[in-house]
Structure formats: structure tokens, C-alpha cells
């Protein structure tokens, strides 16, 4: 066994999160490698992956050759002018390479941080799926899919696995960044465990679900590095459009030379347009800005998703998230906080404070949301705070007893406090010789009729009363749904509640529709029916029964805490296991599409200004009448052409922060977004080049280069 390490305390945040926060946009640790990578990407093979920039690369080579000829006295124009154009064309290619390398560098930094958290650990391989079976200690790298392992308190989980037996508290902070431990057990929706996490208590027998190199951490590293990133359909379609525009301008520029030669010959004088000028014209007219930044936008979008602690199996899923029409959201955990204590209903002869006191004592060790809410409610209502209970024996909840509680030694006796389902507590009280109060039964029934959950509390053989648990709509969720509605996204709440309860919560939360008493087949049917209308559907899930619907949905976000079946069916995995993350995922996807659309609009609008800068200058000698189009009154034809080429290169550098950070997200509909893009980036794309080219022309004049 090589490179074995013992488990150590795990960080409170993921390496990715910490590293992402530590690195600024132009951090020197990213910029220096990106500059070196920019030069490595100058190879023809690397440039061929981006057809638009490959045309610029060819133009750079051609003008460099023409510049060398000019130095030898055989140039079509002054050597300084040709070499100046060549230098700025090379800068254009390098700046585009730098944008992509910087985006990839952030991913590689995340991957390096993740590799730092990956390690080989000791694995206890079992001969069969029994806790007391023979154990063989091996290197975790030797484990294969299907192997059975034993993981005990203090052990690091050696590989991604599915729990077969046992129940344990697991610290997942190394992967999710969440410091609170979670419970993992067999036979439910919380049976998946991730390699690199740590078991804090008890033991688990688990079956390994991945081979070496296929584990969750390996997939995270591959994704953030971009090693498996493929162009998305939207990106491919935009690339085709850019290539088509490039070919059109290439053919147009290619025909200008013979036209120019013919015009000069027919006029009997003048100078034909030079190849250097035509190359400069071509480079400035083709969409080099978006062509140079397109790959960086895609890489940065995947990186932003990773920073949100979401693993996307493909860029297609991220892109689809931006086009989603319908969101299917589970009620509990997404729209509501789940069962939260809302009222203490004491039995006859018991005060509300007495009930709150014993209910809190029974809940001090209960780490479920219900248990914590009881402690909080008792504190808020009566100022009761958690107390140190010496020698107390806490009784955990079990499916068999359907109760939990605490035994507290007091004055030679033991206070037996229990809370749980009404029938379970009734049986417990009667077994001790106590009497079941009819008023308590009525109170529990009334809570159930209101859609809540009754939790009966007893001390010894005395029934103390009922704690009412009910779903509480999360704060701010109604406003989030209003934002989604403004974007044209329909929200549908899915719940197992009856229609009356579901309708009340749906109205309070502000969702557009709901599906009550939902079964797995109902979810699947709803998704298929919605997709048949030509709409894209997103949903979250964590259980095996969610797998069919997740497999059918266009954007399927599986919870990391869920089953292996759910994670395999989804095309995204939320490491935080936060069902509301679906809203954030949609916003991230839309931000990527908005960024791509905004920069495309800006790039295309740029060309209009370049027409007025280059065409009058390029053809002034051949067609003097075109001088009237020189609205910017540039110093000279050479200065006009060089200024346009310099601006074309510099604007890529200026837009790199926008490409990497993304356009600021706004909850607007498609029509409103289009109008805003046309106003800000379309009009801006028209105005900025006029100003920029003129300023560069003035600077060249001051430097004596005009």
C-alpha cells in the first residue's frame, strides 16, 4: 500500500470554494500561466478549433511574410505599416488565446485544489455483505465496482458507494462545504456516500459503485479542467453562423482586389488596394470579438456552475438550464422548510410552558429539522434554553418504535420523556399503566385535518400534549417565483399532500400550478405532457422513485445526498443537496446565454464602425469618391487602417472580464432582454468603435505614426 494517509479533520468549505474566493479575475497565479499558454496555442492545430481566429492567424502569417519582403525592398507598402498591421494581428490572436487560457486556468486551479483533497486511504474490504465478515485491509485505489467495504467511526470513505447495512453520521464538508454532519443509512433515499467524506459515528457496510478514475471527485476534476467539455448545441449553432459570416466576408474581400486592379487600369491611374489592407479589412469585418471570446464564455459558464457546487455532466445541461420553460419543484425542502414546530397544545391540567419544557428536553439531541424547531420554539415562547443534562440517556428515533426521547436521572428516579406519533405514544403510556386523554386525541386529529403533523409528548405515564408541526413557506421564495414568472418560466409544485393542503401552500408560495398526491408515474406523465408542448422541463430529485422523471427531464438535478440511481439518472448533481439550487442553476444557465448573446450583438455592431474607418481609407486611391464616408476625419489612410486593427485587438482584452464574470443577471422576459441587449450592446457596439478608433488615431498622430 502506497501513499496511505490517516483521516484528518476535514475543512469547513470545499477546496474549490476556498480557491475560487481566493483568486481574483486577473490573479498573477492565473495570468502568468495564461500568457505562456497563449503562445502555445499559436500552433495551427490549436487554431483550427476556432475557424474565425484561424482566419486571423493566416492573415498574421501572410502579413508577416509581406513585411519581411518589404524589409528586403520588395513590399507593396512601407515596411513599418505592414509590420505594424502584422504585429497587431498577432496580438489579436494572442489576446483571444489569452481569454480562453485564462478561463481554462481558473478551471485548472479548481482542479488542482480538488486534487489536493484527493488521497489514497486504507479500505476495509469484506468477504461478504456482513458487518462481522472477514476483513482484508487494502489500498483504496485497488477497489473495484461491486466490492463490499466496512467503514467505521473515524474512517474516510474509500470510494463512492451505496450503503447496504448500518446507519452512521457522516461529515461531508470536504465535498459539499457544509459543516453539519448528515445521516446515511441503507434502504432509503439517503444511502449514497461519497469517497473522501468521513464517518463520524457507528459503522456502515457499503457496496462500491465506481471504478478508479470514475469517482465523484474524478468527475469534478475532469469537468472543471474542461478536459471533457464539448461544444453545446447553442455554441455549435453560433459557431456555424460566425463561420458563415467569415466565409461571406472572405469571398467579398477576395473579389475586391481584381475590382481594384480593373478600376485602376480603366481609369489609367491611381493605386490598387494592397493585400495587407485587404487582410486588415477582412480581420476587422469578420466577427473576431465574439469569435475570440466564445470558447472562454463556455468554459467560464461551466466554472460558475462549479462554484455554485453543482456538477454538470455536460455543457448541454448548463445551456438547457438557460432555456427552461417549466420548473418542477418538490414542496418540502424547496418551497417549504418542512415540518416545523408552530404551536404547543397542552393536555388538560398541563400548562403550555410545562409542555414546551418537556418537549424541548426530548429534542435536545434530535438533529432533525423538526427536533431543532421544537427547541427554537420553546426558547422563543418561554425563554427556555438548552440545558446540560448530566448522565442523561437519549433515545433516538427508530422506525420500529416511532418515538424518540430522553431518560434523565433525578432524585433517585428516572424521568422518561417521549415524543412521537400519537399511536406509538399511546401504546407506550398504556404499557406503563397511564391513561390516554381523549382531548389529546382530538387535538392530534385537528392538527392532521389542517394538514399538519401532530407530535404527542409524554412524561412517564402522563400525556403532556401535542406539538403541532406544519410546513412553513420559506421566506423570499414568493419573490423568487415572481422573478421566474417575469422570465416566462412556469413553476409547478409537486407534493404528496392532498389537494386542499397543496392548494393552500401553492397559493401562499405563489407557484403557478401544483401536482397533488403525486406518484412517480404522475411526475413522469407531467414531464412528458409538458415536453410534448415543445417546452423544456427542469426538476430536482433524490430518491430512486425520482429516477424515471429525472431521466426524462431536460435539466435533472439530483441531490448528492440521494440514491445512486437518482444521481445516475440526472445530468447535474448538487453537492449541497439543496433543492432550491434549481433556481440558481436556471439563473446561471440564463446568464451564460445572456453573455453569449450580448457579446455577439456587440461584436456584430462593431463592424459598422469599422466599415466607415477602413473602407474609405483602403479605397481612397482607387475610388476618391469614397472619401465622403470618412466621417471620423482620420489622419491618413494608413492611420485609419492601423487604428481599426489596434481597436479590434484591444476590445478583446477589454471584454475578457465580461466574458468570464458574465453579464449581470436580470429577471426579464425574452423580449425585454432582446430590447435591452440591442440598446446596451447593440447601440454600444456602434458608438464605442467610433470613439475608440478616433482616440487611437489621435494617439498615433501624437506619436508621429499616423
Q: Is 404 annotated as a binding residue?
A: yes
**Around Cβ 74, how many Cβ atoms within 10 Å?**
9
Task: Of 103, 102, 107, 112, give the one whose Cα is nearest residue 15.
Answer: 112
- Scanning 533-636, the segments in alpha helix (DSSP H) are 547-552, 564-569, 581-618
Cβ–Cβ under 8 Å, residues 498 and 491: no
**Grid cell digits, residue 422:** 400519537
Q: Is 132 annotated as a binding residue?
A: no
Task: Of 261, 253, 256, 255, give the one whose Cα is nearest residue 286.
Answer: 253
Task: Of 114, 348, 328, give the one whose Cα is nearest residue 223.
Answer: 114
What CA–CA distance (Å, rounded) separates 70 from 639? Answer: 18
Q: Is 165 annotated as a binding residue?
A: no
Cβ–Cβ under 8 Å, residues 169 and 153: no
E-strand spans in 90-134?
122-126
What CA–CA distance (Å, rounded) separates 680 from 686? Answer: 10
What CA–CA distance (Å, rounded) separates 310 from 573? Answer: 6
**Grid cell digits, residue 580:** 432550491
Q: Is 366 annotated as a binding residue?
A: yes
**Grid cell digits, residue 656:** 475578457
**Grid cell digits, residue 376:** 427554537
For 185, residues 6+ apart whose C-beta sits below 8 A from its C-beta are: 163, 166, 167, 168, 191
What CA–CA distance (Å, rounded) separates 97 from 95? Answer: 5
Cβ–Cβ under 8 Å, residues 235 and 50: no
Q: Is 302 annotated as a binding residue?
A: no
What CA–CA distance (Å, rounded) separates 245 from 247? Answer: 5
**Grid cell digits, residue 494:** 409537486
**Grid cell digits, residue 20:** 475560487
Which residue carries 445516475 as its cell? 568
Q: Is 60 annotated as a binding residue?
A: no
Q: Is 155 tagged catalytic?
A: no
What CA–CA distance (Å, rounded) separates 360 from 319? Answer: 47
Task: Of 239, 217, 216, 228, give the one whose Cα is nearest residue 316.
Answer: 228
**Grid cell digits, residue 597:** 448573446
Q: Which of 147, 155, 160, 330 is catalytic?
A: 330
Cβ–Cβ under 8 Å, residues 290 and 241: no
DSSP secondary structure, 311-361, as one string: EES-HHHHHHHHT--EEEEETBTTTEEEEEEEEEEEPTT--HHHHHHHHHH
Sheet containing 310-312: order of strands:
310-312, 572-574, 555-559, 537-541, 326-330, 490-494, 513-515
Q: Is 370 annotated as a binding residue?
A: yes
Give, in order, the Cα–Cα distances in Å from 538 to each of 148, 166, 284, 580, 585: 35, 34, 41, 12, 10
154: exposed, middle or buried (Cβ count in 10 Å: 0-12, 13-18, 19+): exposed
Residues annotated in the binding site for ATP, as ranges?
A: 366, 370, 397-404, 419
Supply the residues annotated as catalytic. Answer: 330
Q: Which residues fall in the annotated binding site? A: 366, 370, 397-404, 419, 542, 546
| Known binding-site positions for Mg(2+) | 542, 546
Amino acid at each position: 500500500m502506497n501513499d496511505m494517509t490517516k483521516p484528518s479533520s476535514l475543512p469547513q468549505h470545499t477546496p474549490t470554494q476556498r480557491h475560487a474566493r481566493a483568486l481574483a479575475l486577473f490573479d498573477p497565479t492565473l495570468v502568468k500561466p495564461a500568457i505562456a499558454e497563449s503562445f502555445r496555442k499559436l500552433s495551427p492545430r490549436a487554431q483550427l478549433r476556432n475557424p474565425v481566429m484561424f482566419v486571423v492567424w493566416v492573415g498574421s502569417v501572410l502579413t508577416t511574410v509581406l513585411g519581411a519582403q518589404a524589409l528586403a525592398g520588395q513590399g507593396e507598402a512601407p515596411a513599418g505599416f505592414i509590420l505594424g498591421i502584422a504585429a497587431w494581428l498577432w496580438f489579436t490572436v494572442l489576446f483571444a488565446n489569452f481569454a480562453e487560457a485564462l478561463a481554462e486556468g481558473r478551471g485548472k486551479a479548481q482542479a488542482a485544489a480538488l486534487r489536493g483533497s484527493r488521497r489514497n486511504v486504507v479500505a476495509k474490504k469484506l468477504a461478504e455483505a456482513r458487518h462481522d465478515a472477514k476483513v482484508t485491509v487494502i489500498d483504496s485505489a485497488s477497489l473495484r465496482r461491486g466490492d463490499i467495504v466496512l467503514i467505521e467511526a473515524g474512517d474516510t470513505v474509500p470510494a463512492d458507494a451505496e450503503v447496504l447495512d448500518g446507519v452512521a453520521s457522516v461529515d461531508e464538508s470536504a465535498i459539499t462545504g457544509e459543516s453539519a454532519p448528515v445521516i446515511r443509512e441503507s434502504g432509503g433515499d439517503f444511502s449514497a456516500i461519497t469517497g473522501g467524506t468521513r464517518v463520524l459515528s457507528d459503522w456502515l457496510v457499503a457496496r462500491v459503485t465506481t471504478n478508479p478514475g470514475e469517482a465523484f471527485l474524478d468527475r469534478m476534476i475532469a469537468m472543471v479542467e474542461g478536459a471533457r467539455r464539448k461544444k453545446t448545441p447553442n455554441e455549435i449553432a453560433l459557431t456555424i453562423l460566425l463561420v458563415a459570416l467569415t466565409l461571406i466576408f472572405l469571398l467579398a474581400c477576395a473579389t475586391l482586389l481584381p475590382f481594384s486592379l480593373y478600376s485602376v487600369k480603366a481609369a489609367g491611374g491611381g493605386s490598387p488596394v494592397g493585400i495587407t489592407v485587404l487582410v486588415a479589412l477582412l480581420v476587422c469585418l469578420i466577427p473576431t470579438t465574439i469569435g475570440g471570446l466564445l470558447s472562454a464564455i463556455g468554459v467560464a459558464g461551466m466554472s460558475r456552475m462549479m462554484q455554485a457546487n453543482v456538477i454538470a455532466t455536460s455543457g448541454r445541461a448548463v445551456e438547457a438550464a438557460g432555456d427552461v420553460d417549466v420548473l418542477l419543484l418538490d414542496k418540502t425542502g424547496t418551497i417549504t422548510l418542512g415540518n416545523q414546530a408552530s404551536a404547543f397544545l397542552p393536555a388538560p391540567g398541563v400548562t403550555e410552558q410545562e409542555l414546551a419544557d418537556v418537549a424541548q428536553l426530548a429534542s435536545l439531541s434530535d438533529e432533525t429539522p423538526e427536533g431543532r424547531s421544537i427547541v427554537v420554539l420553546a426558547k422563543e415562547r418561554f425563554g427556555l434554553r438548552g440545558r446540560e443534562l448530566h448522565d442523561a440517556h437519549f433515545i433516538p428515533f427508530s422506525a420500529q418504535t416511532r418515538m424518540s426521547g430522553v431518560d434523565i436521572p433525578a432524585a433517585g428516579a428516572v424521568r422518561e420523556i417521549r415524543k412521537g406519533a400519537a399511536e406509538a405514544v399511546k401504546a407506550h403510556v398504556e404499557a406503563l399503566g397511564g391513561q390516554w386523554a381523549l382531548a389529546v386525541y382530538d387535538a392530534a386529529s385537528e392538527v392532521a385535518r389542517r394538514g399538519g403533523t401532530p407530535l404527542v409528548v409524554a412524561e412517564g405515564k402522563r400525556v403532556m400534549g401535542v406539538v403541532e408541526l406544519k410546513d412553513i413557506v420559506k421566506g423570499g421564495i414568493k419573490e423568487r417565483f415572481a422573478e421566474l414568472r417575469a422570465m416566462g418560466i412556469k413553476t409547478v409544485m409537486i407534493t404528496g399532500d392532498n389537494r386542499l393542503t397543496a392548494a393552500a401552500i401553492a397559493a401562499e408560495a405563489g407557484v403557478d400550478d401544483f401536482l397533488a398526491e403525486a406518484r412517480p408515474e404522475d411526475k413522469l406523465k407531467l414531464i412528458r405532457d409538458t415536453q410534448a408542448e415543445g417546452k423544456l422541463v427542469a426538476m430536482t430529485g433524490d430518491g430512486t422513485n425520482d429516477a424515471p422523471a429525472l431521466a426524462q427531464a431536460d435539466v435533472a438535478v439530483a441531490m448528492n445526498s440521494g440514491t445512486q440511481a437518482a444521481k445516475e439518472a440526472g445530468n447535474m448533481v448538487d453537492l449541497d443537496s439543496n433543492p432550491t439550487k434549481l433556481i440558481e442553476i436556471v439563473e446561471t444557465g440564463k446568464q451564460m446565454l445572456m453573455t453569449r448573446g450580448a457579446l455577439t450583438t456587440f461584436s456584430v455592431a462593431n463592424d459598422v464602425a469599422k466599415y466607415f474607418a477602413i473602407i474609405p481609407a483602403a479605397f481612397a486611391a482607387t475610388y476618391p469618391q469614397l472619401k465622403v464616408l470618412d466621417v471620423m476625419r482620420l489622419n491618413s489612410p494608413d492611420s485609419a487602417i492601423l487604428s481599426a486593427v489596434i481597436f479590434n485587438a484591444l476590445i478583446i482584452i477589454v471584454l475578457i472580464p465580461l466574458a468570464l464574470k458574465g453579464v449581470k443577471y436580470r429577471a426579464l422576459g425574452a423580449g425585454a432582454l432582446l430590447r435591452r441587449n440591442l440598446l446596451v450592446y447593440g447601440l454600444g457596439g456602434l458608438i464605442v468603435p467610433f470613439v475608440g478608433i478616433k482616440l487611437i488615431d489621435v494617439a498615433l498622430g501624437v506619436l508621429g505614426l499616423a
